[in-house]
Structure 1
Amino acid sequence: MPAPMRLLGLAIAFLLLVAACETQAAGIRRIRIEGSATGPLIVGAVWYPCATSVQDAGDGNVALSGVKDCPLAGEKLPLIVMSHGRMGWFGGGHDIAAALADAGFVVASIDHPNDNERNHSGTDGLEVFAGRSGDIKRLVDFMLADWPDAGHIDSKRIGLFGFSVGGYTGLVVIGGAPDFRKGLPRCARTDLRALPVCAQLENGELPREAPAHDPRIKAAVIIDPWPAFLLPADHLSGVTIPIQLWSSDPAHESDGVSGCCAAMIRDGLASKPEWHLVENANHFAFLAVCSPKLALDAPRICATPSGFDRAAFHERFQPEMIAFFRRTLNEARDH
C-alpha cells in the first residue's frame, strides 16, 4: 500500500477511535408517578444520554449498564416510552433502553400496575388490557411536564417500544380499539376461554375506563403483540403512524407465544409496517441477555433455541430499531 494511503488509513482509524471514546453513555434515573384520579402509583426508570463513561448500575439479578443520576447531555432529544410484557418489569429491555440512550434518545420505562413481576393481581384481566394504554399516556404526560429534565425533550419526536402485551398496549395507544364485546369469537377457543378477560367479557363486563390513545406518539416498534385476538383487523383502522413490526419464529409456537401474533396484526393494518421475521428466535429472544443468576431463577425467559445466539441477535436488532426511530421521528418533526 502506498505511504499516503497508509497515512489516510491511520488517520481514519484514529478518528473512529476518538468518536468511539466520545460516545455518550446511558444515564439512569428512577421515576415515580404518584397515584391520582387518573390512575395508581407508577414506578420505573429513565435512560438518557450523559457524558460520563459507562458503569454498571445493578438492580437485583440484572446489571443495568449506565451511570446512576448522571447529568443529562443534549437538547431537543427524542423520547421513547417502553411497555413491558405480561408480568414483566421496567428493566426487561434494559439493554435496548441503554442502546437508545447511547444513540441520543431519552427512554422511559415503567412497571404497569397490577401486571408486573411483583404484582400479578390484574394479569390477563379486562382492566389491565383496557388500562395499560392509560399508563403510557400518563408516562408521556409526566416526561413532558414533571420530569426534572423535561425541557430537554423534543415533544414533536416521541416513539413507543412495546413487547408482547406491551406490543398490544402500544397498538392501543397509537389508535387500536380493543374488541371488548360479549361473545368474542376467539374467546371460544379452548386455550383462551380460561383467560380472565374472556370470562369477564362473556359475563358482559366492560372496563371502568376506556382505553387511551395518544396522538403525540409518532412511530412505534412493536414486537410479538399479544393478545392479538382483542385487535381484529376492523379495530385497527385508527393505526396510521409508521410501525416496525417484529415476529419471533412460529416454529417455536409450542411455547404458546412464539410467532403467534405479529403476522395477524401485520395483515390487519391498512398501512403496511416494516416487517421483520426472526428465524429460530423464540418469544423471549427480544428480552435482554440473562445474567447467570437470572438464568437459574427464570429459565423460561432465559432459554434460547438450539443454535440461536441472543447476544448476537441484539447486536443486529438494536441498530435496525435505532435507525427506524431516527428516520421516522425526524420525519415527524419536519412535517
Structure 2
Amino acid sequence: MRMKTFLIASVFSLAAHWAHSAGLKSFDIPADAHSPALKAVEWSPCAAPDGEIKAGPFLLPGVRNCPIDGEKRPLIVISHGFGGTNLSHHDTAEALANAGFVVVAMNHPDDTAANEEREHNLKALISRPTDVKRVIDFMLGSSPDAGKIDPKSIGFFGFSRGGYTGLVLAGATPDFQALRSHCQDKTGATCTPVSQNALPKGTLQHDQRIKAFVIADPLSSVFSAPGSVKNVTAPIQLWGSQYGGDGVSPENLQTVAHNLPVKPDFHVVPNSEHFAFLTVCPAELVKILPELCIDRPGFDRAAFHQDLNKQVVTFFKTHL
C-alpha cells in the first residue's frame, strides 16, 4: 500500500521480453468539473517489427504510436498501488497487449508518486474507482481508438490499493473504520486506528461494465465483514503474497477470499512479500530501493512474473 516518494516510472525495468512488440502511447485524459487530468499509458497489439522505447534510464519493448492491429479488442485497465505510477506493472501490460488486449494504466492523482501530499489524506480511496470509470468512459468515447475496442469485454488488474479499487468497482463496500495508520508493523495489525476526522468521505463508484477482475495483494482490512463483498459476483483471479507487508495482511485476504459469494481463482505465492507483484528492478536500482526490489532469499521475481503474466492472460482470455 505504501511506497517511497521516488517516481516508480523511472525505476522499474522490463521483467521479460515477449515475442512481439506492443504498441505504446502516452496521453492525458482531460480534467472534468470534479477531477484533474489523468496521465495514461496505452499498450495495444502491434503488427510492426519489434522495437525499443527509451523512457528515462530504461528501455521498454514496443513501437510508439503503432496502430492497433485487429478489431473488437478487449480492454484492460491497470490500477497501481500507493505511490506507484502507470508503469508500475508494465510487464503485465506488455504481455496482455501481445496477447491481443488493449491495456490502459493511469496515474491516480491523489496517491501517485508525483503527489507529495499523498500521505496526508485518504481521499484516494474515494477517487480511485472514479478514476477508473473516467478511463473507461474515455476509451469507449473520446479516444481515437474507441472504434477498435469491444465495449462488452472490459477487465481490470489492480495491485495493493489498486486491488482495493477493483473490489470497490466490482461492488464491494469498504468499512473505513477498519483503516489503520501506517507504522512499522509489516502487517499493520498493531497500528493505531485512523482518526475519525481523517476517514475518507464521499460516494463510491461501482462499474458493471467491468466483467472480470485480477486483484493482487489488495488493501483488504476494510473488507473483513462478510457483508462487505456480498455484491461482488464477477469472476475474480485473486493473488496474495505469503507474508504480506506494508500494511497488507495475508489473513485479511484469506477472509475476503472466503467471503466472496463466487469462489475466486485464488493463488498464494510461496515465499513472497507484498512488493513481489511490482515488475523486476534493474540491478543498479536494487541498491537505491531495496525495500521495493529485494525479495526474500530463494524467491525469483522474474520467474514469478512470467507465471503471473501467463495466468493473467489466460484468465482474461477465458472470461473476456
Specify if TM > 0.5: yes
Deviation for aligned residue 1:159: 0.2
Give the aligned partner of residue 217 of structure 1: 210
Is residue 245 of structure 2 the alignment partner of residue 246 of structure 1?
no
Is residue 55 of structure 2 the alignment partner of residue 64 of structure 1?
no
Contact 1:81 1:160 in 2 (8 A): yes
Bigger fraction of residues in helix = 1
Give the aligned partner of residue 150 of structure 1: 146
Contact 1:159 1:325 in 2 (8 A): yes
SS of the residue 1:285 aligns to:
helix
CA distance in 2, matches of 1:262, 1:248: 10
Which string of whole-angstrom CA distances, capped at 9 and with x for unpartnered residues, describes residues 87-146 of structure 1?
A: 001001000000000000000001100201111423473311111100000010011111
Aligned letter for 2:225? P
SS of the residue 1:157 aligns to:
strand
Aligned letter for 1:277? V
Which string of whole-angstrom CA distances, capped at 9 and with x for unpartnered residues, describes residues 47-90 of structure 1?
A: 00011222222322443221111121110000000000010010
Counterpart among 281, 290, 295 of residue 304 in structure 1: 295
CA distance in 2, matches of 1:247, 1:204: 28
Is residue 227 of structure 2 the alignment partner of residue 234 of structure 1?
yes
Aligned letter for 1:278? V
SS of the residue 2:123 aligns to:
helix
Is residue 27 of structure 2 the alignment partner of residue 31 of structure 1?
yes
Is residue 319 of structure 2 the alignment partner of residue 323 of structure 1?
no
After TM superposition, list the pairs within 5 Å mapping 1:135-174 onto structure 2.
135-174=131-170
Deviation for aligned residue 1:238: 1.5
Give the aligned partner of residue 197 of structure 2: 203
Measured at CA, do residues 24 and 204 of structure 1 come closer, stay the same or move farther in structure 2, by a change above 3 Å?
A: closer
SS of the residue 1:265 aligns to:
helix
Aligned letter for 1:178? P
Give the aligned partner of residue 8 of structure 1: none
CA distance in 2, matches of 1:273, 1:323: 15
CA distance in 2, matches of 1:123, 1:57: 32
5+ residue gaps, structure 2, are: 1-17, 182-187
Larger RCO (alpha carbons 8 Å, 6+ apart): 2
Is residue 259 of structure 2 the alignment partner of residue 268 of structure 1?
yes
Deviation for aligned residue 1:24: 4.2
Identity of aligned residues (%): 42
Give the aligned partner of residue 13 of structure 1: none
Count matched residues: 297
SS of the residue 2:158 aligns to:
strand
Deviation for aligned residue 1:265: 1.5
Q: Which has the larger radius of gyration?
A: 1
Give the aligned partner of residue 117 of structure 2: 121
CA distance in 2, matches of 1:63, 1:259: 34
Which string of whole-angstrom CA distances, capped at 9 and with x for unpartnered residues, describes residues 162-195 of structure 1?
A: 0011000110011111224xxx25659874436x
Contact 2:220 2:248 in 1 (8 A): no
Aligned letter for 1:305? R
Contact 1:61 1:291 in 2 (8 A): no
Give the aligned partner of residue 271 of structure 2: 280
Runs of 4+, deviation exceeding 6 Å: none
CA distance in 2, matches of 1:321, 1:190: 30
Which range moves more in the overlay, 45-54 or 64-73? 64-73
SS of the residue 2:263 aligns to:
coil
CA distance in 1, matches of 2:116, 2:221: 21
Is residue 48 of structure 2 the alignment partner of residue 52 of structure 1?
yes
Which range moves more in the overlay, 53-62 or 81-90? 53-62
| Structure 1 vs Structure 2 CA RMSD | 2.2
TM-score, normalisation: structure 1: 0.82
Give the aligned partner of residue 89 of structure 2: 93
5+ residue gaps, structure 1, are: 1-21, 330-335
CA distance in 2, matches of 1:49, 1:254: 35
